[in-house]
Amino acid sequence: MTVLTFPLPARDPAPRNGILRFLNGLADGMREGIAVAGRYDILAQKTDAELAQLGLRREDVPRAALFGRH
């Protein structure tokens, strides 16, 4: 197995940290958005009777997908 490494320049670490934080936040946001979309799809496919068993109405689906039931 061959390992290839690249040295990081030590002269200006602050911008890289900012970029990494930005990319990490972007990835977190994308994961959260995908999770919300999945919850929405699952709830939207349920019948009105199934939603009622969960204590939801059809118009509650977007809020429930985003925030959960409260």
User: How buried is residue 36: exposed, middle or buried, by Cβ count under 10 Å (0-12/13-18/19+)?
Assistant: middle
Distance separating alpha carbons of residues 31 and 19, to the nearest angstrom = 18
pLDDT value, residue 70: 56
- Does residue 3 surpass a pLDDT of 60? no
42, two tokens: 């699952």
What pTM did the predictor assign? Answer: 0.67
| pLDDT, tens digit (0-9, with 9 covering 90-100), for 9-60 | 666 555 568 888 999 999 999 999 999 999 999 999 999 999 999 999 999 9
Instruction: Write down the domain spans for the chain.
Output: 29-70
